[in-house]
Homo-oligomer: A and B are copies of this chain.
Amino acid sequence: MPTVTAPSRYRAEDLTRFAEGLFRAAGLDAEKARATAEHLVEADLMGHTTHGLAQIPGYLEEIEAGLMAKAGEPRVIADRGAAITWDGGTLPGIWLTDKALALASERARRHGLAAVAIGRSHHIGCLAVYLRKATEQNLMAIIASSDPSEATMAPFGGLAPVFTPDPIAFGIPTGGDPILVDISASITTNAMTGRLRREGGRYPGLWAQDAQGRATDDPAVFGASPPGTLLPTGGKDHGHKGYGLALAVEALTQGLAGHGRAQKPTTWAANVYVQVIDPAAFGGAEAYLRETGWLARACRESPPAPGSAAVRLPGERAVALRRAGLAEGLALYPGIMAGLESWAAKLKQAPPPAIA
């Protein structure tokens, strides 16, 4: 990775205004530009730097190419009260998923739980960002996503790519800071692989295999012909776990939305499953928070194993980074702002002022 000293910092609201301006100038309608900009800055604030402003050039290219719809509403395919299905029509996935989360939350308060399946959404960004919105209302959220136009992970024991990293995320309110679990069915992601390849880096473990099935830490296998594949969570040792999760995620997303690999889509076509659960409709919000709060404390109080300073909860670092970024300004991952300069010039948007 490049050596960087004293990176520039930006105010989150300046970054949001800049990103929003870019999306507006590219043609997204106001609500969609705002939602997308806010989400990407939130992702950077939470340290998910491959899924923050780093996504902007890709999104703008997709808008220019007509592959991300600029305006309109999802088409309602089915609505059974607690189960809603939309055709996302390649609309901005972040705006769609925000809207699905709000609807699922409203319906969960009525029915106890509710889910929205979205077919043909555009890229939905960083799952952890949505989770926090649910947990702030003492709701539990489950969000999964897959893109049937891509395949980079092989089934356990196989060589041919069948799956995407197929993330699934769980937002768990605790009464204090939320637990934000965001895991992929593969050990690592396409975005991380792309970044390491550009930087000439290696995975910290044997997270991929070459086309002959040899485990490797070298992301360059994705540039080989035929290319390698991501290994499922558990790797060569117990990768049936990640393989099982991938099947579940693709069934929840592509299966329920009724749009997937069988249709061989060739352009971005994320499918999304958003489920919200209201603990108040089950054993009660108080009892739920008592249990999740107890668990969070028990984990934090566990003596650390050698090599780890302390046991952290999933999302703990993200929430702390976000607080610091909002208070002191946000230092973007190296190269992000430079990568936006040509777009800023083209779309006549002034880059945000650095504050440090």
Contact = CB atoms under 8 A, between A and B. Distances in A.
A interface: dominant SS: mixed
A247 B181 contact: yes
A154 interface: yes
Contacts of A238: 187, 205, 207, 233, 235
Contacts of A299: 155, 158, 162, 247
Contacts of A209: 305
Nearest to A206: B237
Given A83-B111, A213-B305, A235-B237, A288 B154 contact: no
Contacts of A293: 262
A140 interface: yes
A181 B244 contact: yes
Contacts of A312: 157
A254 B243 CA distance: 26
Nearest to A86: B283
B314 A244 contact: yes
A83 B242 CA distance: 29
B291 A140 contact: no
A261 B238 CA distance: 28
Most interface-central of A182, A248, A301 (chain B CB within 10 A)? A248
A115 interface: yes
Interface string A101-116: 0000000000111110
Interface stretch (A21-29, A191-199, A274-282): A274-282
A287 B259 contact: yes
Interface string A258-274: 11111000000000000
Q: How many copies does the complex hold?
A: 2
A255 B172 contact: yes
A308 interface: yes
Interface string A55-85: 0000000000000000000000110111101
A287 B258 contact: yes
Contact of A82 (B82, B157, B257, B258): B82
27 contacts: A78-B284, A81-B82, A81-B111, A81-B112, A83-B281, A111-B111, A117-B283, A155-B299, A157-B304, A157-B312, A158-B303, A158-B304, A158-B311, A159-B302, A160-B298, A162-B302, A172-B248, A172-B251, A179-B247, A213-B305, A214-B306, A244-B314, A250-B291, A251-B295, A255-B283, A256-B279, A261-B294
